[in-house]
Structure 1
Amino acid sequence: MNIKLRDFSIGFLCCSLNIVAQEDTQPEIQIVNPNAMFLQQQRALPPAAVIERGETLYQVNCRLCHGLDLRGGDQGGSNLLRSEVVLIDIAGESIGEVITEGQGSMPTFDNFSNEDLAAIAGYIHSIKFESEGQGSTPPVNYDLDILVGDAAAGERYFNRECSSCHSVTGDLSGIATRIPDDYIMQNTWVAGGRRQAGRGGVQTTITVTTEGGKTITGRLLRYDDFFVSLRTEDGAYQSFSRRGDSPRVELDDPLYRHRELWAELSDGNIHDVTAYLETIK
């Protein structure tokens, strides 16, 4: 019995040490302004370039639901300034989980890299860092003039980067008339117009070919190194385990080039192209 008790004690100690070790590896908030009243104003922020990228991603993907000031937007998104998820987030781990997995009526966004998620989280934390604290009066409404770019430079950029897929006399004909709100037009072209397809936007199509040669095509639901799932045109759900290159998977992502551009676009590019598209009546 003593031997069993000793073995149990050793096992319990090892388990306890393992738990402590795991707790020690959890990220911690770096405090740089301990005299500030609120925790969000005490924390260290990521570099300015990361916050700027996060702002771009937020404005394109999150603003319509969560608002310009994070207090909730036209599509009924939650107030991020009061969000418990934001409060407990340290470096994007909690915010990123909600973005990629969805929550409540919020759809999933599986197209972001870990760096993208950290950038969005960094931007959200930067807004809370600069805020006056919970309960403060919302800022006075004001209109933002975003037509500050060079239309001629925007035309050159469009012809170089966009004209292989889009045409101002074709799919973009009269875009400034069809989308009179400059901010919405800017968000629409940067995002690839995906919101025009309704909730969930433009969908990625996936074709799975099994080892037996059977081909299944449908709307992509999930795709990683171990698992792939889709929904066929008749609404049937299909899922497959992956081992290496089996089953064979082919993706047709209409927004692939737009996703590449997100990493390349500067604020100047965005403003220039928006100014150019504003001339397409």
Structure 2
Amino acid sequence: MRWSQMISWAAVFALTATAAATTRANAGQGIGAPGPADKPTVDPVKAAAGKNTFVQNCAFCHGLDASGGERGGDLIRSLIVARDRKGEEIGKIVAAGIPAKGMPPFTLTPAQIEELSQFLHQRVAEKASRNAKPINIVVGDAAAGEAYFNGEGGCRECHSPTGDLAHVATRFAPQDLQLRMLFPPRPGAGPPIESGQRGPAPTQVTVTLPGGDQVRGVLVRIDDFAVALKDANGSYRSWTRSPDVKVDVQDPRAAHYALLDKYTDRDIQNLVAYLETLK
């Protein structure tokens, strides 16, 4: 899995809101009617493949189980997903994107679109089932996870089980621990930390201007066209990006992103098992 794939800002971003708006706009034209009367069938093999596509492109915003995340809505309750059968509705959103909502277009094959659709329908069916139970993901070796935390993973360079991670397992369910470990939230997001503990450090940025002058501060916004920051005095400053303006971003979450290319499934399981002991 590549971070460049995972940082795709919402693989099916804002489906719920867009579907609701589409339904209202097309009322009375036969387009906004409820979805097909037939119940979607799920191919488990295609759904499993679709899960991989979802994790690589969509989980960052919509959560690992598609029930919503920090940036994206609950796709299980999406009207577009409800109207879709084999990717014909979802595919339109994925291919076109929703630039106004921050979602760029994605280039997925027709097979990937259908598999993504199958995964989402599978999640809808699981959610609807009265017998559905949360999957137990605490299946790793806590001791091995602690060794990875203190060794190969390099986690102890930024985190401490008696500091920012003290009692973390009492604040988050295992699924949330795993999601936050793989995709750490931006500073200031999520529930408050306990008194005396440090939270995520803000992302810093250094802008070097054509004349060589440098301006440093907390990153406010960056895209292909501009960069903005708050300097040490709290002043908001921004520049248009060009080859003559050098931008160096120091993101405290970068180490997490780098690990996405290195983790094995077992590493993740072991780390989650270790974090679950921090109560």
Same fold by TM-score, threshold 0.5 exceeded?
Answer: yes
The yes-or-no answer on 1:167 pairing with 2:160 is yes
Contiguous gaps of at least 5 residues in structure 1 = 1-36
The amino acid that maps onto 1:93 is A
The amino acid that maps onto 1:77 is G
Equivalent residue number for residue 215 of structure 1: 214
Q: Identity over aligned residues, as a percent?
A: 24
Equivalent residue number for residue 19 of structure 1: none
Equivalent residue number for residue 155 of structure 1: 146
The amino acid that maps onto 2:247 is V
Equivalent residue number for residue 276 of structure 2: 278
Equivalent residue number for residue 93 of structure 1: 95
In the TM superposition, what whole-angstrom CA distance separates every residue of 1:212-231 from its partner, at most 9, and x where no partner exists?
3343334152243xx33214
Equivalent residue number for residue 146 of structure 1: 137
The amino acid that maps onto 2:222 is R
**Using the alignment, how far apart are the partners of 2:70 and 2:241 within structure 1?**
39
Equivalent residue number for residue 178 of structure 2: 186
**Using the alignment, how far apart are the partners of 2:55 and 2:261 within structure 1?**
13
Offset, 1:166: 1.9
RMSD of aligned C-alpha atoms? 4.4
Offset, 1:187: 1.8
**Using the alignment, how far apart are the partners of 1:131 and 1:175 within structure 2?**
28
Equivalent residue number for residue 238 of structure 2: 238
* CA spacing shift, 1:274–1:77, aligned 2, 3 Å: same
Contiguous gaps of at least 5 residues in structure 2 = 1-37, 191-199
**Using the alignment, how far apart are the partners of 2:114 and 2:267 within structure 1?**
23
Equivalent residue number for residue 11 of structure 1: none
* CA spacing shift, 1:139–1:89, aligned 2, 3 Å: same
Equivalent residue number for residue 264 of structure 2: 266
Equivalent residue number for residue 254 of structure 2: 256
- Aligned-partner SS, 2:157: coil
**Using the alignment, how far apart are the partners of 2:157 and 2:215 within structure 1?**
30
CA contact (8 A) 1:208 1:216 kept: yes
**Using the alignment, how far apart are the partners of 1:74 and 1:280 within structure 2?**
24
How does the TM-score come out when normalised to structure 2? Answer: 0.59
**Using the alignment, how far apart are the partners of 1:221 and 1:121 within structure 2?**
31
CA contact (8 A) 1:229 1:239 kept: yes
- Aligned-partner SS, 1:238: strand
Count residues in correspondence. Answer: 217
The yes-or-no answer on 1:54 pairing with 2:54 is yes
How does the TM-score come out when normalised to structure 1? Answer: 0.58
CA contact (8 A) 2:145 2:267 kept: yes
- Tell me which of the two structures has the higher relative contact order, counting C-alpha pairs closer than 8 angstroms and 6 or more residues apart: 2
* CA spacing shift, 1:39–1:239, aligned 2, 3 Å: farther
Offset, 1:146: 1.7
Bigger Rg, which one: 1
CA contact (8 A) 1:54 1:123 kept: no
Offset, 1:209: 1.6
- Which structure shows the higher helix fraction? 1
**Using the alignment, how far apart are the partners of 1:184 and 1:278 within structure 2?**
11
CA contact (8 A) 1:154 1:272 kept: yes
**Using the alignment, how far apart are the partners of 1:145 and 1:152 within structure 2?**
18
**Using the alignment, how far apart are the partners of 1:173 and 1:82 within structure 2?**
40
CA contact (8 A) 1:203 1:220 kept: no
